[in-house]
Structure 1
């Protein structure tokens, strides 16, 4: 059973109060585009559709709200998380023509955030009242859940190595299956005889796949995060005390499942990214871990049919480094106060490594 505070919501676009029903369709499902003003005098609509989509993506990106910026003492603060996540959706309310082109983007371009990392690193969130058990779909309306384009998960290593990714993808897969049932029922019962609504549900909602998975391990989430790095070395037997991680299972194995003919959760072009973090003195251990991860290969069964070229998720050839300074107060790791670590004591090191679809190397 998942805990409500592990899903870091509310969604940035959720209205207040939270909807108490999940049997509604978005306005776009019943919008007659023929009635839209073509906006011929608008400079925006004189641009090509491709350029407009690019503008919409920039305008509807999730950002950190600096009006409520986190304090420097907040341990969950990071360069990529300087305040509560938000997304402005006022653009969708400017006119029917804009809404018709943008209604789905706030969800498609945003990730569902799951946090099972250390409590100190958990971003704050405002808990909502829970819906009835059979309708608790991560606090989202059914159509919203079907549009989620990314999943961002933070784990302690014990959960990562014991099926954390698999469990959450299964939950999401089954929740989306329930959401599909709701949407098809709504189309049939509330809009009988409307082929447009039926096609909208099948093509604009049910056909959407998750396109990006991100897995994070923060500095306190490793098995050996408290070990003095001066006693560890990749060349010595003591490397067992280093921070290191085994390759997780293939995400595409998590849905659809055996004897399950429902819609797949992940798109065939889905990418998998790992964001690995540690204290400055343990940077060499992190680099050792990343070098091992470069060899990881994840199967994509749906693209590897018999008689076809075999596809996998493989390393994209790049490792992005990031570091920042943060006053560190860690009573459990006294070695951090050693003079030898004075120049990197307050440094946090991060490595980003990504896996993309590619042909397998035989």
Structure 2
């Protein structure tokens, strides 16, 4: 079986008249091209390669992203005629994924804008310009909020996506480690211009299940206040959208720490995701300055979840090495891990008290020694005086 990454496919390097017409096959002599295209799409659909599952203790393993995606390209090896008709389908049908994150928050192998541009140029040479069905972007907020890195992707030549989904994960929010309330700067909303091919822009807002109300709050603000724009100035609105809700559970371990503050079970976190869809509307304002989006008379608002209680846990996470050194299983019950922490804390406190007592004893010994030294000195002076009188 031939497996291939969708961004390594090459256009046919042979002339169309060099390919056999294959009229002896009902695929070409009976079925119309539209039906063949459906067959090709089904046969060349990508899938998760479960022989290379991602580590559970990562922030990028999640539903539908359990492993790298591959395509079985055996069909393309059967004959030149099929290859000419279908060589680009593994690429256009596959979800094209970008990670605008630091290295530890993305899989080892990912598609870069340069990889994508190379494939787009390869397709353009065949004078075939198909629409990409779905593009997914996973951005940390530092890489999203000013819009520049996202716009680099949107400005790729011959880039015609139909749907773009931007997923903001729990660990992408600012200061999630300290349990800050959710905040998202909206500069990118007005800065970014999306391809004219776009029919849906989806933004998935994710956090912990216990922060569901915060997610619902920022989603409401985004639906009411955010309007995106394509390069042809067509606006996209979400005012009539009904958010899609998804819940899932994953590992509480990431970056060699287990986040016991947020656990809902042994080494388990529960997540809440609300996805909003923006769709094109007829623009009524053609006088807006480029690069600035105005909703009514104001700029797109930042999203802020205000007034929600934060958890001030003195020990939000525990190093995995701490659990291993205690000969506990990595998925030991949360209560057991906290009990161990308490015991270690008590032992350290006892050690501190012991050290203080030893310091006090040493101090008292030093004082006694000092007093003895002073007494000996006085005795020596007294003896000197006695000796002098004799």
Contact 1:118 1:220 in 2 (8 A): no
After superposition, residues 1-362 of structure 1 pair within 5 angstroms as: 11-12=5-6, 14=8, 26-27=11-12, 30-32=15-17, 36-43=20-27, 46-117=30-101, 119-125=103-109, 140=118, 143-144=121-122, 149=132, 150-163=134-147, 166-170=148-152, 173=155, 176=157, 209-228=160-179, 241-247=180-186, 249=188, 254=193, 266-295=195-224, 296-302=226-232, 304=233, 311-315=234-238, 317-329=241-253, 335-336=261-262, 346-360=269-283
What are the Cα deviations for residues 279-302 of structure 1, in whole angstroms up to 9, with x where unaligned? Answer: 222122112222222232212352
Cα deviation, residue 38, structure 1: 4.1
Q: Distance in 2 between matches of 1:271 and 1:170?
A: 19
SS in 2 for 1:226: helix
What are the Cα deviations for residues 139-163 of structure 1, in whole angstroms up to 9, with x where unaligned? Answer: 8356347568254322111221122
- Give TM-score, length-normalised by structure 2: 0.58
SS in 2 for 1:83: coil
Question: Number of matched residues?
Answer: 272
Q: Distance in 1 between matches of 2:268 and 2:78?
A: 50
Contact 1:13 1:88 in 2 (8 A): no
Cα deviation, residue 26, structure 1: 2.4
Cα deviation, residue 268, structure 1: 3.3
Larger Rg: 2
Deviation larger for 96-105 or 146-155:
146-155
Q: Which runs of 5+ in 2 are unaligned?
A: 286-390
Contact 1:65 1:85 in 2 (8 A): yes
- Give TM-score, length-normalised by structure 1: 0.62
What are the Cα deviations for residues 16-41 of structure 1, in whole angstroms up to 9, with x where unaligned? Answer: xxxxxxxxx822673228x5324353
What are the Cα deviations for residues 48-69 of structure 1, in whole angstroms up to 9, with x where unaligned? Answer: 3323222322222222112222
Cα deviation, residue 81, structure 1: 0.8
What is aligned with 2:387?
none
Q: Distance in 1 between matches of 2:280 and 2:48?
A: 30
Q: Distance in 2 between matches of 1:137 and 1:243?
A: 33
Contact 1:13 1:86 in 2 (8 A): no
Q: Which of structure 1's runs of 4+ aligned residues deviate more than 4 A?
A: 136-139, 145-148, 250-255, 330-334, 341-345
What are the Cα deviations for residues 72-127 of structure 1, in whole angstroms up to 9, with x where unaligned? Answer: 44442111111111112222222233222212212222344321335543112289
What is aligned with 1:308?
none
Q: Which runs of 5+ in 1 are unaligned?
A: 1-9, 16-24, 129-135, 177-205, 229-240, 256-265, 305-310
**More helix per residue:** 2
Structure 1 residues 29 and 153, CA gap change in structure 2 (3 angstroms): farther
What are the Cα deviations for residues 218-251 of structure 1, in whole angstroms up to 9, with x where unaligned? Answer: 11110142344xxxxxxxxxxxx42132445458
What is aligned with 1:180?
none
Higher RCO (C-alpha 8 Å, min separation 6): 1
Q: Distance in 1 between matches of 2:190 and 2:24?
A: 46
Q: Distance in 1 between matches of 2:56 and 2:115?
A: 34
